[in-house]
Chains A and B, each alone.
Chain A
Amino acid sequence: MSQEIIELTEETAQQGVSRRGFIKGAIAASAAVSSSNYLFRANGGALLAQSAAAGAVERLITVNVNGRSRRVQVPPMETLSTTLRYTMGLTGTKIGCDRAECGACTVLVDGVSHYACSTLTHTVRGREVTTIEGLEGEDGTLHPMQQAVLEEQGFQCAFCMSGFIMNTVALLNENQSPTRKDAAEWLSGNLCRCADYDKILTSVERAAAITRGA
C-alpha cells in the first residue's frame, strides 16, 4: 500500500545529486510512507475506489513544478503544500497556519500567488507551479529578491520568508517600480511573526532596483 503513495517516476539516478539533495529525497520517501499509513487508517479501502463517471479523477497525475513535469500519486483531497513538501521533498515551502491566514505557503501557479495550503494539488494539473527552489538560475544566480534579502538581512527567523519572496516575485513581474505602499498592499496576505516588515519592504525596494538594473 505504501507503494501507492510514493512518487512513482521521479528520477532517482540524477547525475551529481548533492548530499543535501540525497538526504532530502530519503526524508521525502519516509514521510510519504507514514502519511500513507495515516490515510489508509483513516479511510480503509476507499483510497482505491475509482469512478468512471464524467470528471472522475485519476490519482496518478503530472504536476509541473519549477519547469519539470513530475508524475506523482496524489490523493484527491491533498493540498499542494503537502504534495510539495512530503511527496516531492520541496520543503522550502512552509506551512504556518494551514488555513489561508498567514501566507507562509505562498507559491506561484501560472505566475499568480496562491496559498499552497489552500489549493488542492489536483487543481494545478497542467499548470506551472513555481516554488522557492525554482528561483535560482541554472548558473546559481539568485533571483533579485533573494539577493536583496541577503543584502538587506530581510528576515529574522525566516519562517515566513519563502512566502514573502514568492509573492514579491509575482509583484515584480507586474510592477518593477513599486512604492513601499504598493509593496505593503501587495504583501498584505503574508504575515511575519518576527514583525520584520520594515526590512522586508526595504528588501523589496532593493529587489526592484536590482531588477531594473539600477
Chain B
Amino acid sequence: MAVIRDVIPQLELFQPGTADDALALLSEHGSDAWVFAGGLDTLDWFKDRVKRPKVVVDLGGIDSLREIRTTADGIEIGAMARLIDVVNNADIKAQFPALAFAAKSAASPQIRNVGTIGGNIGQDTRCWYYRDGWTCYRAGGNICYASPPTAMNREHCILGASRCVAVNPSDTAPVLVALEAEMVIRRGSSERVIPADEFFVGPEIDIERMTALEPGDLLMSIRIPSKWAGARVYFEKVRDRDSWDFPIVNVATAIKETGGSIEDVRVVVNGVAPTPVRLTAVESAIIGESLNEQTAEQAGNVSIQGVAPLTHNGFKVNLMKNLVKRSIRDEPMNA
C-alpha cells in the first residue's frame, strides 16, 4: 500500500442536481474535472495524491441516473445504480441473473452499498506500481515496471498486453460484454451509444485510459438488449479470498442452445488483459457443436492459444483454460 496521507488536498467539489448541470460542469472544466460516483476507486487516487484534478463533480444528487427500468428491448441500468441495486433488482435477477451474481461477487458488502455500476466499469486498473504513483506508461512515462522478469506481476496480463501489462479488474464488465450491452454516453448535448466491447480500450488505443470515456463525457446508462434474457449465462470468478478480492480471472459465457447444440455463444474473460476479452476463436470453434464435456474441453484448449504469461502469473493460463471449460460444461450458479 501507498503511504497513508489521509488528508485529501482541497479540490473544488460540485454536487449538481441534474445531469444537464453535471454535463455543463464537465464541458466547462474539461480535463481538470473528475466524475465522482460512489468514490470507492476515486478516493484512493485522491488520498495517495496520484491523481490531482482541480474539480470534482459528484453525481450522487442526480436521482434520474440511479433508475433501473425495463424498456421495449431489455433493461436500462442508470450509471449511478449501486451494485447492491443491481444485485437485488427483480427484473435483472429474472432476465440476467449472471449480472446480479457478478455484481454480488464484487468487493465487499459496504462497497456494494455505495459503489455504482458505472464506477465498476469505469474503475482504473489495480496495478500497484501505477496506483502507487510510479511514472509508468499509463501515468505518462515511458516504462512498465510490472513487466520485467524481476517485477511482481502475479495479477497482471497473460493476453493482449501492449507495453503496459495491467489488467481490467471489473467483475461486471465481462458479463456486460457477453450480454452485448451498450453504453449510453453524453457530452454536452450530444449522445453516443457504443457497444460494451468498444467501451473498454486497451493500451494499443490509449495507454492512459481503460475506457472510451474522455474528459467531458458522462456515462448515462447501460442498455442490455433482451437478446440474451433468460439464456444460459455462466459467470465465475476466482479470487484469493471470498470477500474484497478482485478477480484473478473471471469468465462470462452466454449460450443459446437448440436440441443440445450450441446455436449462439459469447465467451468473455477478464482479469487477464487490459480489457475484458471476447474469445472469438473459442466461439467459432464450438458454435454448432453439442453442448458436452468434449466441446467444453476443446473450448478450454482453444482459449489459451497465444497467451504470453509473465514471470509470476503462469498459473493464470490453466485457470483461464479451466474456467472457460467449466463455463460451457456446468450449469450457471447465479446465487
Residues of A with Cβ closer than 8 Å to B? 35, 38-39, 42-43, 46-47, 49, 51, 53-57, 75-79, 82, 95, 97-101, 103, 106, 112-115, 118-120, 122-123, 167, 185-189
- Is B243 an interface position by the 8 A CB rule? yes
- Is B193 an interface position by the 8 A CB rule? no
How many residues in B have their beta carbons less than 8 Å from beta carbons of A? 41
Task: Say whether A189 contacts B44, CB under 8 Å.
Answer: no
Selected from B10, B25, B111, B242, the residue in CB contact (under 8 A) with A55 is B25
> Could you tell me which residues of chain B, from 85 to 140, have a CB within 8 Å of some CB in chain A?
107-111, 113-114
Closest A residue, CB atoms, query B4: A98
Task: Say whether B15 contacts A57, CB under 8 Å.
Answer: yes
- Is B8 an interface position by the 8 A CB rule? yes
Known A113-B110, A120-B58, A123-B60: A53·B14 in contact at CB below 8 Å: yes
Find chain A residues with CB under 8 A from B79 CB. Answer: none
Residues of B with Cβ closer than 8 Å to A? 1, 4, 6-17, 21-22, 24-25, 28, 36, 39-40, 43-44, 46-47, 56-58, 60-61, 107-111, 113-114, 242-244
Task: Say whether A113 contacts B113, CB under 8 Å.
Answer: yes
Closest A residue, CB atoms, query B57: A55
Selected from A46, A119, A122, A188, the residue in CB contact (under 8 A) with B108 is A188
Complex: how many Å from CA A113 to CA B109? Answer: 8
Task: Say whether A55 contacts B15, CB under 8 Å.
Answer: yes
Find chain A residues with CB under 8 A from B21 CB. Answer: 54-55
Task: Say whether A189 contacts B243, CB under 8 Å.
Answer: yes
Selected from A47, A55, A120, A188, the residue in CB contact (under 8 A) with B39 is A120
Known: A77-B8, A79-B8. 20 other contacts (CB 8 A): A43-B9, A51-B12, A54-B14, A54-B16, A54-B24, A55-B22, A55-B57, A76-B10, A76-B12, A79-B6, A82-B7, A95-B6, A100-B44, A100-B108, A113-B110, A115-B110, A118-B39, A120-B58, A187-B109, A188-B244
Find chain B residues with CB under 8 A from A47 CB. Answer: 10
Complex: how many Å from CA A46 to CA B14? Answer: 15
Complex: how many Å from CA A79 to CA B14? Answer: 16
What is the minimal beta-carbon distance from B333 to any residue of chain A, in angstroms? Answer: 15
Complex: how many Å from CA A78 to CA B113? Answer: 20
Task: Say whether B110 contacts A54, CB under 8 Å.
Answer: no
Find chain B residues with CB under 8 A from A43 CB. Answer: 9-10
Find chain A residues with CB under 8 A from B244 CB. Answer: 101, 188-189
Task: Say whether B10 contacts A119, CB under 8 Å.
Answer: no
Task: Say whether B7 contacts A42, CB under 8 Å.
Answer: yes
Closest A residue, CB atoms, query B13: A76
Task: Say whether B110 contacts A189, CB under 8 Å.
Answer: yes
Find chain B residues with CB under 8 A from A54 CB. Answer: 14, 16-17, 21, 24-25
Task: Say whether B9 contacts A77, CB under 8 Å.
Answer: yes
Task: Say whether A77 contacts B11, CB under 8 Å.
Answer: yes
Find chain A residues with CB under 8 A from B107 CB. Answer: 189
What is the minimal beta-carbon distance from B245 to any residue of chain A, in angstroms? Answer: 10
Task: Say whether B113 contacts A114, CB under 8 Å.
Answer: yes
Selected from A39, A53, A101, the residue in CB contact (under 8 A) with B10 is A39
Task: Say whether B108 contacts A189, CB under 8 Å.
Answer: yes
Task: Say whether B114 contacts A119, CB under 8 Å.
Answer: yes
What is the minimal beta-carbon distance from A56 to any residue of chain B, in angstroms? Answer: 6
Find chain B residues with CB under 8 A from A95 CB. Answer: 6
Task: Say whether B10 contacts A42, CB under 8 Å.
Answer: yes
Complex: how many Å from CA A120 to CA B58? Answer: 10
Complex: how many Å from CA A47 to CA B46? Answer: 17
Selected from A106, A123, A167, A186, the residue in CB contact (under 8 A) with B58 is A123
What is the minimal beta-carbon distance from A212 to any residue of chain B, in angstroms? Answer: 23
Task: Say whether B56 contacts A188, CB under 8 Å.
Answer: no
